[in-house]
């Protein structure tokens, strides 16, 4: 069985995704007037306005005060960026051996890290 520790060791972020995450951090800071202490990756159900419910990657941000409440074993450091993996064992396979990537047509998405 895959553990969160395994995910943190084998997860990667593409340069394109790094740039997109920087944009998310900038928008968070613009809206909240606080620098994000970490971004959060989650797997959940979403329902875009006027669309059917779907399941997929969710991305959020934490302030410094919020990050203090997160267990350290759920936080990975990638370069100078902290990522909180807010996922349950049921969804570990969506992240195991994956790379966070970005493309114009898909936005941020997960793909196998070996491509």
Range of the domain at 99: 4-46+53-103
Query: What is the distance between the alpha carbons of residues 46 and 107, in angstroms, rounded to a whole number?
Result: 15
Asked if residue 108 is part of any domain, the answer here is no
Q: What is the pTM of this model?
A: 0.86
Asked if residue 112 is part of any domain, the answer here is no
Which of the two residues, 30 and 4, has the higher pLDDT score?
30
The whole-number pLDDT of residue 2 equals: 59
Number of domains in the chain: 1
Query: What is the distance between the alpha carbons of residues 73 and 9, in angstroms, rounded to a whole number?
Result: 12
The whole-number pLDDT of residue 85 equals: 92
Asked if residue 72 is part of any domain, the answer here is yes
Signed CA dihedral, 109, 83, 1, 53: sign only: negative
Asked if residue 18 is part of any domain, the answer here is yes
Query: What is the distance between the alpha carbons of residues 70 and 14, in angstroms, rounded to a whole number?
Result: 25
Show the tokens assigned to 7: 């995910």
Asked if residue 113 is part of any domain, the answer here is no
Q: Residue 18 is part of a domain; what is its CATH number?
A: 2.60.300
What does the pLDDT look like over 65-74, one tens digit per residue? Answer: 999 999 988 8
């Amino acid at each position: 069985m895959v553990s969160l520790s395994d995910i943190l060791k084998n997860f990667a972020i593409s340069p394109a995704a790094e740039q997109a995450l920087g944009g998310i951090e900038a928008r968070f800071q613009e809206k909240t007037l606080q620098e994000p202490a970490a971004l959060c990756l989650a797997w959940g159900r979403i329902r875009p306005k006027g669309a059917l419910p779907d399941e997929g990657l969710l991305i959020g941000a934490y302030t410094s005060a919020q990050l203090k409440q997160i267990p350290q074993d759920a936080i990975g450091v990638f370069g100078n960026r902290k990522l909180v993996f807010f996922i349950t064992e049921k969804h570990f396979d969506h992240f195991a051996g994956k790379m966070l990537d970005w493309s114009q047509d898909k936005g941020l998405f997960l793909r196998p890290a070996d491509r």
